[in-house]
Structure 1
Amino acid sequence: MSNRKWIYASRIEGQASRQAHADFPPGTYEREMSKEGFFGPAAFLHHQYPPTAWTRFEGPLQPRAFDLAKLSPTDLTPWSSHSVLHNAATDIRMWTLSANMPALARNGDGDQLLFIHAGKGSLFCDFGHLEIEAGDYVYLPRGTMWRINPADPMSILMIEATNTHFTLPDKGLVGPHAIFDPALLDAPKMDEVFRAQQSDENHEWQVRVKKRKQVSTITYPFNPLDATGWHGELSPVRINIRHIRPLLSDRYHLPPSAHTTFLSDRFVVCTFAPRPFETDPGALKIPFFHSNDDYDEVLFYHAGDFFSRDNIDAGMMTFHPAGFTHGPHPKALNNMLQQTKRGTDEYAVMIDTRDPLDVGEGASSVENPDYVKSWAASVPETL
C-alpha cells in the first residue's frame, strides 16, 4: 500500500474546513470519500443537508439490519449454526448453546474467532482449559479440537478467517502495549479441570471436522483431548472486551480503523468500547458520514447505549454494503458538536470486509425491512 503512487493533489475549494472532522463551516455536514477504507487519500466534502436524508432508497445496496436475538435455537454443534453473512474470505455465524457439546469440533477451513455475546462456560481444547464468559474473544487456530460445556445458556458470534489466519494489528507510533497489552491474552491451562475431563473415557468420542464447508465425523474409542503438555508460540487465546482501552483524542474523532483488534487477509475485526466524547468545541462528536466504496461494514451490537443508532438493541447486527454514504442516525445528528453526557457506554464488534458479503439464511429470517427508512428525510434541528 505504501508504494502506491496515488493520483494526489490537496487543495481547498469553496467553503470548507482545513481540518477533517472539525471546525465545519456553519450549517454544513461533512462527508468523507476515501480510498482503502481510511488509509488512502481522502476528500472531505461539506453539504447543506445530511447525506443520508433520502426520501426513498431502492435496490440491493440499501442498508440492512438483523435481530439475531430472534434466531431460533440451534443444535449443539457449531457447524449447524445460523449463517449470517459470508464471502470467500470469511463466514459469520450466530450460535446458541444451552447444553454440553456432545462432540468435539475442528475447523479445517481457517482460524476461528468466537465472541461470547451471552452466557459463560468451560472451553476444553488440545491445549487445555479456559473459563469463558460474556464479552470474551476466543481465538482458535485452524485445526484446534475444542468443545464447550456451558454453565449458562450461551450466544456466540463466530467469525472465520477462511483459508487463512487472524493476526494482531501493527499499532505503529503508540507501541505494542496500547489498546491492550499482549499480557492480557490468556492461554488455556492444563489444570485439574482439564485433567479431570480426560478421565471421562467410558464412551466413544467424536470429532466433527469442517473442511471446504463439509463436515466429516471421526470417532475415537477414547477422549482425544488427552495431551499431557505442550510448548510453543501457537495456541488459543482469550481476551475480554472490557480489557480493551480504545485510543482517544479530545480534538479529533478517530476513524473506526483506530479500534482494530484483529486482522485477516481480506477483513478486519474492530471493537468499540466506552470512551469519553471529544471535548474540543469544533470537533465532531459522532461518527462521520463516509462513502466507503472499498469495504462492506458490519456492526454487531453487544451491550450498552448505541448512541449513533436509533432503535438498535443488544444482539442486533447492521450491514452497510460498500458503495453508499452512511453515518449516524438522525437522532445522533443533533448532538454532533455537543453531547449531553461525558462519554459513550457501548460495546460493539465491527467487521469490515474488502470483498462483498452475501446474506445468509439466518440473517434473512430476522431482517428488519424498515431499517432503510430510519434515515428518511433526516434533516435535524438547525445547528
Structure 2
Amino acid sequence: MEKQYQTGFGNHFSSEARPHTLPLDQNSPQKAPQGLYAEQLSGTAFTAPRASNLYSWLYRIRPSVMHKSFQPLKELTEKTFFKPKYTNPNQMRWNPNPSSAGKQHFVESIRTVCGTGSSHEQRGLHVHLYSFSESMGSRYFMNADGEFLFVPQSGSMEVKTEFGNIEAEAGEIVVVPRGIKFQVNPLKGTVCNGYIGENFGAPFHLPDLGPIGANGLAHSRHFLTPVAAFEDLEGKFELIGKFAGELWSAEMGHSPLDVVAWHGNYAPYKYDLKKFNTINTVSFDHPDPSIFTVLTSPSDTVGTANVDFVIFPPRWMVAENTFRPPYFHRNCMSEYMGLIYGVYDAKTSGGFVPGGGSLHNFYSAHGPDADTFEKASEVELKAHKIDHTMAFMFESRVPYMVTDFAMQKGFLQEDYQNCWQGFKKYFKS
C-alpha cells in the first residue's frame, strides 16, 4: 500500500492511528482516550507569538519520561559528530564520502564536514555526511540540539518517527525538528548516502515571496507530513540522545515510537525537489540565486539568513546577451554546496561530482571554471534546458569552520584552485 501523508506546510494537523484516540474538547483531559497519556512537545517557547508558536500534543501508550538515566557515549561521539575547528579562507572541494564502505547503521555513519554555531548559541548549522546499509534495530535517536534536514543522494530510506513514517530517496528532502525521536533505516536493501544540514537556529520555514506573488518556488501543498503510526513493542531498547554536541545513551523497556494520535503544527515532513517551481529571467541578465531558496532559517537581522537551503534544479535558460552560467562572485554569505545527481552548470570540466561537496566561505571568490567560461562566452544563445541535474546549497551569514575529517587526503581535493588557473588575458592596454 502506498505510504499515506497529510499535505501542507505549517498546518495544524490532526491524525490518529486508531479511531477515537484523539480528544475532541481538551488537549489534556483528566483521562485521555483508551488509556493513553497526553504529552505536549514544544518547538518554541510557550510565549512565542501565535503565528510562530510551534507545538504538538501527543497521545501515547507510555510517557516519554519512561527511560533510565543517560550515560555518555564518548567513543561514538568522537567517531561521528566531529567538532568544526579550523578556519580556512581557501575555496575547498571534496570527493564523495570516504566512509561509505562497511556495514553500519545511520548514527554510526554520520561524519561532520564543516559548520558554524552550536546549540548553546542557538544559531548556525553543521554539515554532515551519512552512509549506511544497516537497520537501527532496537536503537532510536533524538536530537535536542537542532533540526535535521536530510538530503538523500543515493538509496531509499525510511524515517520512522513519533508522528508516523516517511519514505525518501534522492531528489527528496526530509526535515525532522528538534526533540523528536526517530529511526532511519535503508529500504530495498540499498546503501543510503547523503547529506544532513543540522540547523541550530530558527526552524526552517518557507521564504516570503514578495513580488513573486502567490505562486512560485516551493508551494506549501507539496510538503508531506506523516499520518499517525505506532509501535507497541516491549523489550530492551536504546535511546541515543544528542545534547550540546555529545551523544548519550538511555535504556528503555519499550519502543519510544508509541504515539497513537497527535495534533499540532510541530512535526516532521518531506518535500520532492522536483516539484519546485523555478523562477528565472525571460529577458536578460541574472536574477540573484536567492530565487532558488526552498527553505529559510531567519536570523535576527531582517533579510539575512541564519541558513538558506537553496537548490539548482533543471530549468530553461533563455536570457539574451547574457553569460548564462553562475557569474563570478564574492559573497558576504558562506556557501556549502553538494551535488545530488547530474552535472552542475558552473563546473562542466569535472571535479564536482554527485556525493561530493564544496565550500566557499565569506568573500571567497568563486565562479565557473575556465572551460565553462570559454564555452559559455562563445555559445549561440538559443533557448537551452539544463536537465537531469540537482545541486543544493546551505548558505549562512557566518563562516564555516572545517573538521579534521574534512582535511583527509583523498577526500579533500587539494588541486581545486587549478580549475581557475587557465583564464586567458584578453584585454589589451
TM range (shorter): 0.7 to 0.9
Per the alignment, in what secondary structure is the counterpart of residue 263 of structure 2? coil
Partner in structure 2 of residue 270 of structure 1 = 310
Q: Are residues 1:144 and 2:180 paired?
A: yes
Q: Secondary structure at the match of 2:260?
A: coil
SS in 2 for 1:116: strand
Could you tell me which residue of structure 2 aligns to residue 61 of structure 1?
A: 89
Structure 2 match to 1:16: none
Matches for 1:199-278 after TM superposition, within 5 Å: 199=232, 201-251=233-283, 252-264=285-297, 265=299, 266-278=306-318
Looking at structure 2, the residues matched to 62 and 162 of structure 1 have their Cα atoms a distance apart, in angstroms, of 25
Q: Mapping of 1:71-150 within 5 angstroms?
A: 71-73=99-101, 75-78=104-107, 81-88=110-117, 89-102=124-137, 103-150=139-186
Asked if the contact 1:253/1:286 (under 8 Å) is kept, the reply is no
Q: What letter matches 1:377 in structure 2?
A: G
Q: Deviations over 1:92-151 (max 9, x none)?
A: 100111011131111100111111111112221010111211121101111111112211
State the alpha-carbon separation in 2 of the partners of residues 233 and 336 from structure 1: 46
The within-5 A match list for 1:295-334 is 295-309=333-347, 310-311=349-350, 312-334=352-374
1:341 is displaced (CA, Å) by 7.3
Match of 2:196 among 158, 161, 166: 158
1:257 is paired with a residue whose SS is helix
8 Å Cα contact 2:110/2:129 also seen in 1: yes
Matching residue within 395, 405, 411 for 1:362: 405
Q: Do the aligned residues in 2 keep the contact of 1:111 with 1:164 (CA within 8 Å)?
A: no
Match of 2:385 in 1: 343
Structure 1 residues 342 and 124: CA distance shift in structure 2, 3 A = same
Aligned pair count reads 316
Change in 2 beyond 3 A, CA 1:104/1:177: farther
Q: Deviations over 1:17-68 (max 9, x none)?
A: xxxxxxxxxxxxxxxxxxxxxxxxxxxxxxxxxxxxxxxxxx9422111012
Contact in 2 for aligned 1:91/1:159 (Cα 8 Å) = yes
| 3-state SS in 2 of match to 1:333 | helix
> Over aligned residues, Cα RMSD in angstroms?
2.1
Residue equivalent to 2:395: 352
Aligned-partner Cα distance in 2 for 1:257–1:380: 31
2:322 aligned with 1:283, yes or no? yes
Q: How far did residue 324 of structure 1 move?
A: 3.2
Secondary structure at the aligned position of 1:291 is classed as coil
User: In structure 2, how many angstroms separate the alpha carbons of the residues matched to 1:79 and 1:113?
Assistant: 18
User: Taking structure 1 as reference, are residues 377 and 108 closer, same or farther at Cα in structure 2, changes over 3 Å only?
Assistant: same
Q: Distance in 1 between the 2:386 and 2:131 partners?
A: 28
Q: Distance in 2 between matches of 1:230 and 1:380?
A: 64
- 1:290/1:208 CA distance change after superposition, 3 Å: same
Moved more, 371-380 or 137-146: 371-380
Q: Please, which runs of 5 or more residues in structure 2 have no aligned partner?
A: 1-86, 118-123, 300-305
